[in-house]
Amino acid sequence: GYLEVQNGETFVSTAGASLRRIYGERDLLISECIREGVWAKLDPAGLAAMAAALVYEARREEEWEPRIPKGNFQEIMQTTVEIWDELENLAHSHKLGQTAPLDLSLSLPIHRWASGAKLDSVLDSADLLAGDFIRWTKQIIDLLDQVAQTAGPELAETAKSAVDKVKRGIVAYSYYG
């Protein structure tokens, strides 16, 4: 649905034009989730946690089960993972590169940060240094900005609110330093 063919000519569809404004390794997944309304019921902190799962890549090698935000996040994450899996199967069938599974390690700490938790508590739970936390939050904010620019009005408002909730304290100061 990202391209349309009319009279033998291929054109970029409305969905394709929207996809053009999303940059990153998971651009197609993000676009599909927006198109299908998967994230419509997330609150700002939940959307920030989802963005964390989409951009974060842990350095640790060992397997462990991360804690995730309560509420509807788990169900919405499951739907997001199902779409990712469909895209990965499609990519594999076309002999295209694969993407890493979503990493939920930073989702709960970002949810807590976006909900107003103190920095030291969030850093402890994320097992990150302040500089690494800031680097990841900037990527999360960038993704949330892209969602705000491409989504419908309600999700765009949620994304803008999520940016405001993540871009506070030391994170906000880092933009001016």
pLDDT for position 106 = 95
pLDDT for position 64 = 60
pLDDT for position 2 = 84
107-110 CB contacts, 8 Å cutoff, 24+ apart: 107/49, 107/50, 107/52, 107/53, 107/56, 107/66, 107/68, 107/69, 107/73, 107/77, 108/49, 108/66, 108/67, 108/68, 108/69, 109/52, 110/48, 110/49, 110/51, 110/52, 110/136, 110/137, 110/140, 110/166
Measured between alpha carbons, how far is 32 from 28 in angstroms, rounded to an integer?
6
Judged against a pLDDT cut of 70, whether residue 13 lies above it is answered with yes
Beta bridge mates, 64:
none
Judged against a pLDDT cut of 90, whether residue 25 lies above it is answered with no
State the average pLDDT for the chain.
Answer: 92
Greater confidence (15 vs 141) lies with 141
Over residues 119-147, mean pLDDT: 95
pLDDT for position 176 = 81
Rg, C-alpha atoms of the chain: 17
Residue 177's pLDDT band (cuts 50, 70, 90):
low
pLDDT for position 14 = 83
Nearest C-alpha neighbor of 170 from the set 127, 138, 125, 126: 138
Q: What is the pTM of this model?
A: 0.92
A 10 A CB-CB count for 65 gives: 7
| Joined tokens for residue 69 | 């935000």
30-85 pLDDT, tens digit per residue, is 999 999 999 999 999 999 999 999 999 887 665 567 788 999 999 999 999 999 99
